[in-house]
Chain A
Amino acid sequence: MESRDIVKAKLAEWGLSPSDADLDELAPAYETMLRWNKIVSDMLDSRPMTPGMEFPTSEPILIHDIARYR
């Protein structure tokens, strides 16, 4: 499926109908986002377990916990 169609389908899930002009901008923006997602995925810390398996060694940041680092 092309990016344009994916964008249209994803926004339809939210009850939104993008115009053709919206899609002209959102399709390349969506592809940029996929590249960013890959960059982030590649930088995540883990340790190996068995071949092809890993244990994630970082957890999502919590927004309320920074005071513990004082």
Chain B
Amino acid sequence: MISNPKQLAHAPITEVADLIKKKETSPVEVVDLILSRISELDSTINAYIHVFEDESRAAAKAAEAEIASGSYRGPLHGIPISIKDIYESGPTTCGSSSLVGYVAAEDCQSVANLKRAGAIVVGKAGTYEFAYGAPTLETHFPPTRNAWNQEFECGGSSSGTGGSIAAGLAYAGMGSCTGGSIRWPAQCCGHVGLKATYGRVSRRGVYPLSWSLDHTGPLARTVADAGHMLRGCAGYDPLDQASANVPVTDFNAKLGRDIKGMKIGLLRTIYEDNYEPGVKSAFDPAVQVFEKLGAEIVDIPTINLRQLIAIEFPNMWADAAAIHHRNLRTGGGDKYGRHTRGYMLWGLLMDSTAYLNSLRARAQVRDQLLDALTTQVDALLLPTVGFQTPRVLESDPGLGFLGGEFSFYTPIFNFTGLPAVSVPCGFDQDHMPVGLQIAGKPFDEATMLQVAYAYEQATEWHTMHPDI
């Protein structure tokens, strides 16, 4: 029951959409609420780089008139959302001072799709520089602070999108994910991050980090909200070479079905010798919840963390270097943050044989997981990441930041292209959120969300939000 503006600001889309549909609230009221909260809170949270105040008020009035006339487009109609600032839509900086002043000529495909579904874009959300270089207190754009505790960051690289949802400054938003940048901020901010199958959502007009690893997709408060957002942004795009020509269906069609008798594969070899105590104490009991729901837990041996990192990061940095090296030579790169520039130089050191070997290893792991999903299990399960949410960085962390044994588990579903979703599963000893990730078969996001929803509804984590 929503009884005050703060509750309304932190409500899931499904509840707000119901109120809008019943005309118990309106897009204008909801947009006014979110804009007033941005005005009040974002000077400390730093979720937004640009706010579309006039445009979103105009869109809200138009949505209100359309709904009043009986043309209700669906659950996103009149809902304020945030968009990571690497998506072309109005002013677009990619979190870099090198692009201050650039204004996109048109909306990128996925944003156009969302607007067509009725969503209202209230602003461009902060991001790691080019979805890559970590923001610090010294960088041009400051880090987004986490509403659960403002000494902590929101994860990255879709930090502003995650931070905007956690702080009640948007109901959902779009992130991008090359190694985990949708699921990690979702974990840090205590909500759901959905990376659909590679090719499900258009990447056109979204500044690339790695052509073969990049995914675009939503962050939202609940599994159902994430499913609605995915339906709003997904769709074949003939102008995106990686776009898959598959139908967009109701991704929430299986929500509410039980998971009794389903088999869920634990990828223990990736995490069990390296996840931190704060993650372990939340994740291990979560596995038992699946068993209580009637699912059978099955061990699926796969690669270890060292192999996962060794496949992902050189691949990503080499692609990023190919994308940015001309900027480094022609002067634009002079404005890049030191951290960003360092990774790009690192990527230039990768040789072609090693690069092709990493692509071979990706195919092997993909085939291994596909085999498990075809013959042994219905879904895969592991923690989202193995480390607790870090504090806001004061200065450049250097290249060692990702160079060591970094317990980052999300990339396995980037370099295999499988769909994966992060769902809250508790809190660590700093009272920061912890998440688990569930992966499924290509283009069967509905079954994956069925499993995620069953867990979500059996726990209370999705009902909690920061007191802000």
Is B274's CB within 8 Å of the partner chain A? no
Instruction: Give the distance in Å from the alpha carbon of A41 to the alpha carbon of B415 in the complex.
Output: 17
Known contacts being A63-B212, A70-B442, is A25 close to B342, with CB within 8 Å?
Answer: yes
Instruction: State the total of A-B contacts with C-beta under 8 angstroms.
Output: 124
B contact face: mostly helix, strand, loop, or mixed: helix
Instruction: Give the distance in Å from the alpha carbon of A16 to the alpha carbon of B321 in the complex.
Output: 12
A contact face: mostly helix, strand, loop, or mixed: helix
**Is there an interface contact between B360 and A26, defined as CB atoms closer than 8 Å?**
no
Is B398's CB within 8 Å of the partner chain A? yes
**Is there an interface contact between B364 and A60, defined as CB atoms closer than 8 Å?**
no
The minimal Cβ–Cβ distance linking B361 to chain A, given in whole angstroms, is 5
**Is there an interface contact between B310 and A36, defined as CB atoms closer than 8 Å?**
yes
> What is the size, in residues, of chain A's interface with B at 8 Å between Cβ atoms?
35
Instruction: Give the distance in Å from the alpha carbon of A40 to the alpha carbon of B246 in the complex.
Output: 33
Is B99's CB within 8 Å of the partner chain A? no
Q: Mark B322-350, 1 if CB is under 8 A from A, else 0.
A: 00010011000000000000100110111
Q: Mark B420-452, 1 if CB is under 8 A from A, else 0.
A: 000000000000000000000111000000000
The minimal Cβ–Cβ distance linking B397 to chain A, given in whole angstroms, is 11
Task: Determine the residue in chain B with the shortest Cβ distance to A21.
Answer: B338
Is A20's CB within 8 Å of the partner chain B? no
Instruction: Give the distance in Å from the alpha carbon of A67 to the alpha carbon of B246 in the complex.
Output: 8
Q: Which of B11-19, B123-131, B351-359 contacts A (4 or more CB under 8 A)?
A: B351-359
**Is there an interface contact between A26 and B363, defined as CB atoms closer than 8 Å?**
no
List A residues at the B interface (Cβ < 8 Å).
7, 10-11, 14-16, 18, 22, 25-26, 28-30, 32-33, 35-37, 39-41, 43-45, 56, 58-61, 63-64, 66-67, 69-70
21 residue pairs from A and B, CB less than 8 Å apart: A11-B349, A22-B342, A25-B400, A30-B346, A32-B404, A37-B354, A37-B357, A39-B310, A40-B310, A40-B354, A43-B307, A43-B361, A59-B363, A61-B362, A61-B363, A63-B198, A66-B198, A66-B442, A67-B442, A70-B246, A70-B443
